[in-house]
Homo-oligomer: A and B are copies of this chain.
């Protein structure tokens, strides 16, 4: 019987952390993960829990109660050591990840960080997070070494990375949609690219706020953080765009989970629908978790919900010069926990689909 990887999830009470715990509990190559929370982290709720939910392998835990809360322990470095943890997943706030990673690396752990702490290489993009690093020199070094964990684009560096910065949910839906056409130099960057993106409420996190109250969300729809959302920097860096070439507008959908991005761009020459299809299909040849829809057919949030797929479809304007791309994914899976597992699979040389089907 082969060795099974020892993992831990810090922040196992948030939506992404619960989903990750659930995936790791069923992954054929990992032991049951050590579930941890920081001292200050509030418990997931006060109501009754279904008995031994996680152990029973609930395939869905929409409200986060199915997390076998009693088995979540307080975080300490010694707990990690004691359990022989090799890979640590951080489903923690940005500042906490920024604080813990240097020590984790120095202790020889490999990490997949689901926060925004280590995704950005450029200082002007990082500024929005306002990180205060205790040891700026180490932080700078780690920032440089961290690998942006988008497996479809960065598989090679992910394989050997010590620190993988798992992408933002919105960013994943936008970058995957745009990467092929930009790589093929088919886009007129200077006429501007727009992503009008819409996310379900779990993307806003589990903290109850006026904004996530059922009565505020139901029957409603709104845009937010126009020209100021933190995922913008990731998208610019990964696609080598500058801020005058791209607009990102997030919206809050009255659904629990799922992202749909409607992306607008101008092509730098007149093309056919087939050329676009070929470009996308060629780029994602052999990529297990991207599905390209036939020309003029579009994905919907239902299709990728509860899966690790990023679905995309395109409509070309009759003039052959303007393109609308629609890309969909589940913000808790391909947009967070699923992608984290996909990164782990690459880091340990396993099949990219292991534990995600």
Given contacts A63-B216, A260-B223, A293-B51, contact A254 B251 (CB under 8 A): no
Pick from A56, A194, A294, A300 the residue with the most CB of B within 10 Å: A300
* Nearest-Cβ distance from residue A35 to partner chain B, whole angstroms: 19
Contact check, B219 vs A255: say whether CB atoms are below 8 A apart.
yes
Contact check, B51 vs A294: say whether CB atoms are below 8 A apart.
yes
Contact check, B192 vs A221: say whether CB atoms are below 8 A apart.
no
Which listed residue (B214, B298, B306) contacts A201, Cβ 8 A? B214
Which A57-90 residues have C-beta < 8 A from chain B?
Answer: 57-66
Pick from A206, A209, A296, A305 the residue with the most CB of B within 10 Å: A305
Contact check, B262 vs A264: say whether CB atoms are below 8 A apart.
no
CA–CA, A217 and B64, complex, Å: 12
The interface size of chain A toward B, counting residues with CB under 8 Å, comes to 90
Tell yes or no: A349 within 8 A of B by CB. Answer: no
Contact check, A63 vs B201: say whether CB atoms are below 8 A apart.
no
* Nearest-Cβ distance from residue A47 to partner chain B, whole angstroms: 7
Tell yes or no: A269 within 8 A of B by CB. Answer: no
Contact check, A264 vs B247: say whether CB atoms are below 8 A apart.
yes
Which listed residue (B220, B247, B315) contacts A301, Cβ 8 A? B220
Which A308-326 residues have C-beta < 8 A from chain B?
Answer: 309, 311, 313, 315, 317-319, 321-322, 324, 326
* Nearest-Cβ distance from residue A352 to partner chain B, whole angstroms: 14
Tell yes or no: A30 within 8 A of B by CB. Answer: no
Contact check, A214 vs B223: say whether CB atoms are below 8 A apart.
no
Contact mask for chain A residues 210-224; partner B; CB cutoff 8 A; 1 contact, 0 none: 111111111111111
Residues of B contacting A56 in the complex (Cβ-Cβ under 8 angstroms) = 291, 309
In the complex, the chain B residue whose C-beta lies closest to that of A253 is: B221
Which A132-183 residues have C-beta < 8 A from chain B?
Answer: none
* Nearest-Cβ distance from residue A242 to partner chain B, whole angstroms: 11
Contact check, B220 vs A317: say whether CB atoms are below 8 A apart.
no
Contact check, B210 vs A213: say whether CB atoms are below 8 A apart.
no
CA–CA, A222 and B211, complex, Å: 23
Which listed residue (B219, B244, B301) contacts A319, Cβ 8 A? B244
Contact mask for chain A residues 287-302; partner B; CB cutoff 8 A; 1 contact, 0 none: 0000111101111111
A binding-site residues for B, Cβ under 8 Å: 15, 44-51, 53, 56-66, 191-192, 194, 196, 198, 201-202, 206, 208-224, 226-227, 243-244, 247, 249, 251, 253-258, 260, 262, 264, 266, 291-294, 296-303, 305-307, 309, 311, 313, 315, 317-319, 321-322, 324, 326, 357
A-B contacts besides A214-B214, A223-B262, A251-B262, 15 pairs, CB < 8 Å = A45-B216, A49-B297, A56-B309, A58-B303, A58-B307, A60-B305, A65-B303, A192-B322, A219-B256, A219-B302, A219-B305, A220-B302, A221-B255, A227-B324, A244-B321
Lowest 4 CB-CB distances: which A-B pairs, in order?
A48-B297, A60-B306, A208-B208, A222-B300
